[in-house]
Amino acid sequence: MRIDSFRAPLAVAWQLTRRCDLACVHCLTESGPHCCGPEELSKEDCLRIARECVACGIPYVILTGGEPALSPHFLDLAETLGRGGVWLKVETNGQRFGPAAAERLAKLPIRSVQVSIDGAAQGPYARLRPGADLQAALDACRTVRRLGMPLEVTFVPTAFNLGEAKAVIDLAVDLGAFRFNTGRLIRMGRADRRWEGLSPSQDEYQILYSILLRKEAELAGRMELCFRPFSAEEQALQEACEPSGTLVVLPDGKVLAAALSDQVCADLRHESLTEAWAAYRRVRRDPGSKKNGFAAGRKPAVARSGDGAR
Amino acid sequence: MDEGLAGYGELVRRAWRTGKFLVKGPGRPTSLLKAAGTLGLQPRPRAGRGAPGRGGEKVPEARRSVRGEMEEIVKRESAEALGSLAVHQEGTMKLAPFVKFREEKFGAVLFETRSEKVFTLNKTGAAVVRAILAGAGEADLVARLRERCEDKTGKLEAEALSFLKQLKKKGLVTE
């Protein structure tokens, strides 16, 4: 893909806040109830960036966190982007995704709402997400569907909940999800600190992979199973070979050069989105870009919310 | 972003929503580009027509850049507006839901946000999609393209229809 000749990013994955009502044991951004620092962007800065996204013609913005719904600017931002014609994806844990917010979102071009469900029963679900209520997440999914918004379900496999995968896939079908996302646990944040106890074994991953292949065939045409690339390493390699053109914006306005990198290429507090895009291209420049024409590109980098799955 | 440009963007988007592309000022209606001047963005003087005292002055680079960006917005949003405002008629086509079109120097980008797939288009491909957004049907697509593009090789019809077939096959365009 010729990102070097694009005049603006193809997508923005925007981590609105580190604040979250949960403190999941596998959270790769280490978000939690007390994680909202003074360094997070002000409403004015957020709205300025949102307007820039619209003006630049960015087609797609992923709003994530932490828990994006806990950002005081969440709905204003979503409305600024959505009314400007930007397709939106919202990644939520579903704990506080109530009808009032959902109804406001439903008026916008919502590409999807993604809800994290790591277990089909309260026990395994709450083991990864202490204090979380599975019923609240399921209610959020049903609200999303009732309001006509496309639903995605994300499942993070760990040693605690691997056996839940098949049941969660079936649950996602029942909930009306169009896509189920999973992949290997990513060794970052809290997942890194608890890696030994948390990470499934190779054998367990092989079992999961075979389940995914089987369910993919079984559910073809009903629900998409998204699990390739399966590991963070594969994703990073793909991104290195073919940059996605997705800017990853952190809560403090810093911009990452890649989804799973810690290399900051710009700071939106002091730079415009156009300048950030130029910086991203400088970092990611690929001299062997493809010939112009009608060429199917790869998927842009997925957002990296707290959920450590890939 | 420049305040004037932000205001102008709002104006364009309002026009997009309402379908009214003329701005009613104190005098006669004026086009959006002319209205930009009232929002702090002075249109670029035409060559040789500089006002007294300003004659011969070069347009500052910043203004030219803003103007260029503004024209990009108008171009892009006008294309999208045409697509969204067109009353769907039998035989006409439109971009599939979740698909966004963006003009680029090399042509354009089609972004299917649902699958997160990106398709780059060359200039001819971009012209085809623009014609679709403007309400072209399969029957009159080639005629519309001929109004705007030269057909030096005589292959325009075959290539445009083949490209359209690909767009439909990939689910990017629907009837």
**Mean pLDDT of the A15-29 span:** 95
Rounded Cα distance between A68 and A257, Å, is: 21
Task: Give the lowest-confidence range in A134-138, A296-300, B64-68, B113-117.
Answer: A296-300
Distance to chain A for B119, nearest Cα, Å? 5
Q: What is the pLDDT of residue A47?
A: 98
Q: Which of B58, B87, B116 is the last residue of a domain?
A: B87
Q: Which of B87, B108, B139 is the last residue of a domain?
A: B87
A2, A5, A10 ranked by CB distance to B111: nearest: A10
Farthest CA pair distance, chain A: 52
Distance to chain A for B52, nearest Cα, Å? 35
Q: What chain B residue is nearest to A271 in terms of C-alpha separation?
A: B1
As a 3-state breakdown, chain B gives helix, strand, coil percent values, each rounded to 5, of: 45, 15, 40
Q: What chain B residue is nearest to A109 in terms of C-alpha separation?
A: B98
**Mean pLDDT of the A281-310 span:** 50
Q: Kindly state whether residues B81 and B107 are assigned to the same domain.
A: no
Q: What is the pLDDT of residue A141?
A: 98
Written as six digits, the tokens of A26 are 């596998």
Q: Which of B35, B62, B87 is the last residue of a domain?
A: B87
Residue with tokens 């002075």: B42
**pLDDT confidence band for B148 (50 / 70 / 90):** confident
Rounded Cα distance between A38 and A31, Å, is: 15
**pLDDT confidence band for A280 (50 / 70 / 90):** very high
Rounded Cα distance between A156 and A163, Å, is: 12
Q: Among positive and negative, which fits the CA dihedral A158, A160, A163, A164?
A: negative
Task: Report how many domains make up chain B.
Answer: 2
Interface contact A55-B5, CB threshold 8 A: yes
Q: Kindly state whether residues B9 and B57 are assigned to the same domain.
A: yes
Interface contact B120-A11, CB threshold 8 A: no
Beta strands in chain A (DSSP E): 11-15, 60-64, 87-92, 110-116, 151-154, 179-181, 224-226, 246-249, 254-256, 264-267, 295-296
Q: Kindly state whether residues B79 and B105 are assigned to the same domain.
A: no
Chain B residues with CB under 8 Å of A225 CB are none
Q: Kindly state whether residues B70 and B100 are assigned to the same domain.
A: no
What pLDDT, in 10s, does the model give residues A144-168? 999 999 999 999 999 999 999 999 9
Q: What is the pLDDT of residue B129?
A: 96
Q: Kindly state whether residues B159 and B129 are assigned to the same domain.
A: yes
pLDDT at B59 > cutoff 70: no
Q: Kindly state whether residues B7 and B80 are assigned to the same domain.
A: yes
Beta strands in B27-166 (DSSP E): 30-31, 94-95, 99-104, 107-112, 117-121
Rounded Cα distance between A212 and A115, Å, is: 19
Rounded Cα distance between B44 and B35, Å, is: 13
Written as six digits, the tokens of B112 are 């299917």
Interface contact A48-B1, CB threshold 8 A: yes
Q: Kindly state whether residues B24 and B70 are assigned to the same domain.
A: yes
Angle made by CA atoms A34, A36, A41, in degrees to the nearest 5: 180
B106 φ/ψ angles, rounded to the nearest 5 degrees: -85, -10
Residue B99, amino acid: V
Interface of chain B toward chain A, CB-CB under 8 angstroms: 1, 5-6, 9, 13, 16, 69, 72-73, 76-77, 80, 98, 100, 102-107, 109, 111, 113-122, 125, 163, 166, 170
pTM above 0.90, yes or no: no
Interface contact B118-A293, CB threshold 8 A: no
**Mean pLDDT of the A126-142 span:** 97
Q: Kindly state whether residues B83 and B99 are assigned to the same domain.
A: no
Q: Kindly state whether residues B80 and B113 are assigned to the same domain.
A: no
Q: Kindly state whether residues B114 and B76 are assigned to the same domain.
A: no
Q: Which residues of A41-51 are buried (b: 16+ CB within 10 A; e: fewer)?
A: beeeebbbbbb
C-alpha distances (whole Å) from A184 to each of A141, A162, A178, A198, B50 are 24, 11, 21, 11, 65
Chain B residues with CB under 8 Å of A7 CB are 72, 104-105
Q: Which residue has the higher pLDDT, B37 or A223?
A: A223
Listed in sequence order, the residues at least 6 apart from A211 whose beta carbon sits closer than 8 Å to its beta carbon are A165, A166, A169
Q: Kindly state whether residues B59 and B111 are assigned to the same domain.
A: no
Interface contact A294-B116, CB threshold 8 A: no
**What percentage of chain A reaches a pLDDT higher than 90?**
80
Q: Are A83 and B13 in contact (CB under 8 A)?
A: yes
What pLDDT, in 10s, does the model give residues A84-126? 999 999 999 999 999 999 999 999 999 999 999 999 999 999 9
**Maximum mean pLDDT: which of A184-198, A289-303, B73-87:** A184-198
Q: Kindly state whether residues B164 and B137 are assigned to the same domain.
A: yes
pLDDT at B163 > cutoff 60: yes
Q: Are A273 and A11 in contact (CB under 8 A)?
A: no
- Please state, rounded to an integer, the average pLDDT across all residues of chain A: 90
Can you say whether residue B98 is alpha, beta or left, with left for phi > 0 and alpha for psi between -120 and 50 degrees?
Answer: left
Rounded Cα distance between A71 and A261, Å, is: 24
Interface of chain A toward chain B, CB-CB under 8 angstroms: 1-2, 5-8, 10-11, 48, 51-52, 54-55, 57, 59-60, 83-85, 87, 89, 111-112, 150, 178, 245, 272, 292-300, 302
Distance to chain B for A258, nearest Cα, Å? 16
Q: Are strands A110-116 and A151-154 parallel, antiparallel or unpaired?
A: parallel
Distance to chain B for A138, nearest Cα, Å? 22
For residue A131, how many C-alpha atoms fall within 13 Å in the half-sphere facing its CB? 10
**pLDDT confidence band for B58 (50 / 70 / 90):** low
**Mean pLDDT of the B14-31 span:** 52
**Mean pLDDT of the A4-11 span:** 93
What pLDDT, in 10s, does the model give residues B92-134? 899 999 999 999 999 999 999 999 999 999 998 999 999 999 9
The range of the structural domain enclosing residue B161 comes to 94-174
B9, B102, B122 ranked by CB distance to A54: nearest: B9
Q: What is the pLDDT of residue B121?
A: 94
Q: Is A116 in a helix, a strand, or coil?
A: strand
